[in-house]
Amino acid sequence: MILVTGGAGFIGSNFILDWCRSSDEQVINIDKLTYAGNLMNLSSLKDSPQHKFFNVEIGNSNQVSKILKKYKPRAVINFAAESHVDRSIHGPRDFIYTNIIGTYELLEAVNSYWANLQDSQKADFKFMHISTDEVYGSLLPEDSSFTEKNQYKPNSPYSASKASSDHLVRAFNKTYQLPTITTNCSNNYGPFQFPEKLIPLTINNIIHNKKIPVYGDGMQVRDWLYVNDHCDALRLILSDGSIGEIYNIGGLNEKTNIDVITMICNKMDDIQFKKDIPSINLIQHVKDRAGHDTRYSIDISKVSKTLDWKPKETFESGIDKTIKWYLDNQNWVDSVSTGEYVKWMKKNYSELL
For the annotated catalytic residues, the residue numbers are 133-134, 158
Where in 102-186 does DSSP place strands (E)?
Answer: 126-132, 180-185
132 near ligand NAD (CB under 6 A) = yes
Please state the closest distance from residue 296 (CB atom) to ligand NAD, in A: 10
d(CA 275, CA 289): 33
Minimum distance, C-beta of residue 217 to ligand DAU, in the bound complex (Å) = 10
126 interface partner picked from ligand DAU, ligand NAD, none, CB below 5 to 8 A per type: none
Q: Taken in order 85, 90, 92, 98, is the CA torsion positive or negative?
A: negative
| Chosen from ligand DAU, ligand NAD, none, partner binding at 222 (C-beta under 5 to 8 Å by type) | ligand DAU
Q: Which one of 28, 37, 172, 255 is in contact with ligand NAD (CB under 6 A)? A: 37
Residue environment code for 186-211, b if the CB has 16+ CB neighbours within 10 A, otherwise e: bbbbbbbbbbebbbbbbbbbbbeeee
Angle at 164 between CA 124 and CA 115, to 5 degrees: 30
Nearest to 146 by CA among 301, 336, 325, 311: 301
Q: Residue 197, interface with ligand DAU (CB under 6 A)? A: yes
Query: Cβ of residue 123: shortest distance to ligand NAD, in angstroms?
Result: 27
Q: How many whole angstroms separate alpha carbon 190 and alpha carbon 203?
A: 11
Q: Which residues, 305 to 334, sit near ligand DAU by CB under 6 A?
A: none
- Say if CB 76 and CB 2 are below 8 A apart: yes
Is residue 79 part of the contact set for ligand NAD (CB under 6 A)?
yes
Among ligand NAD, ligand DAU, none, what does residue 5 contact (CB within 5–8 Å per kind)?
ligand NAD
Cα 130 to Cα 10, 124, 183, 246, 323, distances in angstroms: 13, 19, 5, 10, 26
Question: Is residue 8 near ligand NAD by the rule CB under 6 A?
Answer: yes
Q: How far, in Å, CA of 131 to CA of 169, rounded?
A: 11
Rounded to an integer, what distance in angstroms lies between the CA atom of residue 281 and that of residue 85? 26
Work out which of 4, 16, 58, 199 binds ligand NAD, going by CB under 6 A.
58
For ligand NAD, the closer CB: 30 or 265: 30
Q: Which is nearer to ligand DAU, 51 or 129 (CB)?
A: 129
Using DSSP bridges, classify how beta strands 221-223 and 254-256 pair: parallel, antiparallel or unpaired. antiparallel
Nearer to ligand NAD, 36 or 109 (CB): 36
Q: Is 161 a residue that touches ligand DAU (CB under 6 A)?
A: no
Amino acid of residue 129: H
Q: Is residue 135 close enough to count as binding ligand NAD by CB under 6 A?
A: no
Residue 214 binds which one of ligand NAD, ligand DAU, none, with CB within 5 to 8 A depending on kind?
Answer: ligand DAU
Q: Applying CB under 6 A, which residues contact ligand NAD?
A: 5-6, 8-12, 31-34, 36-37, 57-59, 79-83, 98, 102, 130, 132, 162, 185, 187-188, 194
